[in-house]
């Protein structure tokens, strides 16, 4: 009886946004009288950071400090239509809508500032710190707050913008499957190191080394949250989770967290991540949604590592100790493969 080390690899790509398009997102942006900006959406933040990333996108596009932007979502009376938070569409679709709404609001803001400074709007730029200045002449400037006050109370102008982003709907061909599924893809590759106990069938994942290509890390910490948490879920899917342990029979399905298994804080796997950024042309600042794809490569990499450790092909998820022990029995014991 022994512990066998194994190493496995997998790589994937992932489509960003709803397949075949037809999933619009809208955004509305307006300024308060003192130059703070409200972004109204109907997007959902389920932990992935929708409110935060759209806030940063609005801040960047408007050219104002992020503290001066607040995202309000989702109230169907005030937030314009959005399809929802699924299919890795939030960053791509809603982010683009926010860019468009913020771009329009910025244009109004620069025109209002131009009137106050008596210059052309096209000669103005923002410093991202709450000031609007003449390009090349930072001293000729006005604050965003003063601009908003002037626009509202002197010029009778709104600093507001609307945005919609849509990939028009298309269809798949019945005969060949030809289609335009999405417009960009994220990528990932990872290496799993694990140990298999051939007496208990227990698998312990020891380390993950990964590379994720996300277009652009719009907020590196939010990306890291997704990648760490997503890989955890991938390990969980690979080794523990199912609602039907005797699938397709429905017997003995877990009914609570005592019987639905997931790794706990005592099973944290060190995960060394490299983030690659190859911006996608139609994505907001090039950023692709990392939230879904992060779990996918973990499942096959775990299976491949188990084969490397003990010579059992685990083709049915989840890979429970029972399946490993049955495989070992069928094989007459562990058959460690080439050390990688």
Partner 1 sequence: MSSTEFRKDLFADERDDTLKEIGKPTIRQDILGHVTGRTKYFDDHLFDGLLHMRAVRSPHHHARIRRIDTEAAARMPGVRRVVTAKDVPVNLNTLLSLINFGRDDEPLCAHDKVRFLGETVAWIIADTEREARDAVAQVRVDYEPLPHVLDVEEALKPDAPVVNEVYPNNTFDYHGKYDHQKLRFGDVNAAFARADHVIEAEYQMSPIEQAPIETCGAIAAPEQNGRFVCHTNTQALFFSLGTTAKLLDTPSSRLHFIGGTAGGGFGGKVDSIVEPTAVLGAMLTGRPVKFAWDRYEEMQVGAPRGGERWRIKDGVMRDGTIIAREFTGFFDSGAYMRLSPYAIIKGTGHLPGPYSIPNVASNVYCVVANRTPATAMRGFGITAVDFSIECHMDRVAEAVGMNPIELRILNAYRDGDMKAHRRKAKNTALIECCQVAAGKAGWSISADAMAQSSLRGGGLGERGAIPETATDEEGRIGERRAGRTRDTAPSRQPTGRVPAGHAGQAVTAAPVQNPDMEIEIERIGHRIAAQQGAAPAPRAPQPPAGQPTPPRAAPPAAAPQSSYAPPPSPQATAPTYQQPPAPTPPPAPTPPTPPAASEPYKPEQPFSRGVNRPGTSRFLSGTRRR
Partner 2 sequence: MARTPLTFTLNDAETGVFVVPGSNLLDVLRRGAGDLTPKQGCAQGTCGSCTVLIDGVPHLSCLTLAETVEGRRIDTTGGLAGGPDLHPLQQAVMEGFAAQCGFCTAGMLMAAKALLDRTPNPTRDEVIEAISGNLCRCTGYEPIVDAILTASARMQGRTA
Q: Provide the binding-site residues for partner 2, judged by CB under 8 A.
A: 46-49, 221-222, 224-225, 228-229, 231-233, 256-258, 262, 264-266, 268, 271
User: How many residues lie near partner 1 (CB under 8 A)?
Assistant: 157
Q: Does 61 bind partner 1 (CB under 8 A)?
A: yes
Q: Does 333 bind partner 1 (CB under 8 A)?
A: no
Q: Does 187 bind partner 1 (CB under 8 A)?
A: yes
To the nearest whole angstrom, how small is the minimum distance from the Cβ of residue 210 to partner 1? 6
- The angle formed by the CA atoms of residues 97, 101 and 104, to the nearest 5 degrees, is 140
| Alpha helices, H only, 220-262 | 220-239
To the nearest whole angstrom, how small is the minimum distance from the Cβ of residue 49 to partner 2? 7
To the nearest whole angstrom, how small is the minimum distance from the Cβ of residue 264 to partner 2? 6
Tracing tokens 């997007």 back to the chain, one arrives at 43
Residue closer to partner 2 (CB basis): 177 or 265: 265
Residue closer to partner 2 (CB basis): 49 or 163: 49
Applying CB under 8 A, among 145, 146, 292, 310 the residue interacting with partner 1 is: 292
To the nearest whole angstrom, how small is the minimum distance from the Cβ of residue 137 to partner 1? 18
Binding piece for partner 1, criterion CB under 8 A, among 133-141, 143-151, 223-231, 327-335: 223-231
Q: Does 115 bind partner 1 (CB under 8 A)?
A: no
Q: Is the dihedral of CA 86, 92, 95, 100 positive or negative?
A: negative
C-alpha span between 222 and 290 (Å, rounded): 9
Q: How far is CA 61 from CA 99, 138, 290, 322, in A?
A: 6, 20, 21, 54
Could you tell me which residues come within 8 angstroms of residue 189 by beta carbon, excluding any fewer than 6 positions away? 9, 10, 11, 12, 210, 211, 297
Interactions with partner 1, residue window 129-148 (CB under 8 A): none
Q: Which of 234, 236, 319 is nearest to 14 (CA)?
A: 234
Question: Which two structure tokens, joined as six digits, stand for 14?
Answer: 């992932």
């Amino acid at each position: 009886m022994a512990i066998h080390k194994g190493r496995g690899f997998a790589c994937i790509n992932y489509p960003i946004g709803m397949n075949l398009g037809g999933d619009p997102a809208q955004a509305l942006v307006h300024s308060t009288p003192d130059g703070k900006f409200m972004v109204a959406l109907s997007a959902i933040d389920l932990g992935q950071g929708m409110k935060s990333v759209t806030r940063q996108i609005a801040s960047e596009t408007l050219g104002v400090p992020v503290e001066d932007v607040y995202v309000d979502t989702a109230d169907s009376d005030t937030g314009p239509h959005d399809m929802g938070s699924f299919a890795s569409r939030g960053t791509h679709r809603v982010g683009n809508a926010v860019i468009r709404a913020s771009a329009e609001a910025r244009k109004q803001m620069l025109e209002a500032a131009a009137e106050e400074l008596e210059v052309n709007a096209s000669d103005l730029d923002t410093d991202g710190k709450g000031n609007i200045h003449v390009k090349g002449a930072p001293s000729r400037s006005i604050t965003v707050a003063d601009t908003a006050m002037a626009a509202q109370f002197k010029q009778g102008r709104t600093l507001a913008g609307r945005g919609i982003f849509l990939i028009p709907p298309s269809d798949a061909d019945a005969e060949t499957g030809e289609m335009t599924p999405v417009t960009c893809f994220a990528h990932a590759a990872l290496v799993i190191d694990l140990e298999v106990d051939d007496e208990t069938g227990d698998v312990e994942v020891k380390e993950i080394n990964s590379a994720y290509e996300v277009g652009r890390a719009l907020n590196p910490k939010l990306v890291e949250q997704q990648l760490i948490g997503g890989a955890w879920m991938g390990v969980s899917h690979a080794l523990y989770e199912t609602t039907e342990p005797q699938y397709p029979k429905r017997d003995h399905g877990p009914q609570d967290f005592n019987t639905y298994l997931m790794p706990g804080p005592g099973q944290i796997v060190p995960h060394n991540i490299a983030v690659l950024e190859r911006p996608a042309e139609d994505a907001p600042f090039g950023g692709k949604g990392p939230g879904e794809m992060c779990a996918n490569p973990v499942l096959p990499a775990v299976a491949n590592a188990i084969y490397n450790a003990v010579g059992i092909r685990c083709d049915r998820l989840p890979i429970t100790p029972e399946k490993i022990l049955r495989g070992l029995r069928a094989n007459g014991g562990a058959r460690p493969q080439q050390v990688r």
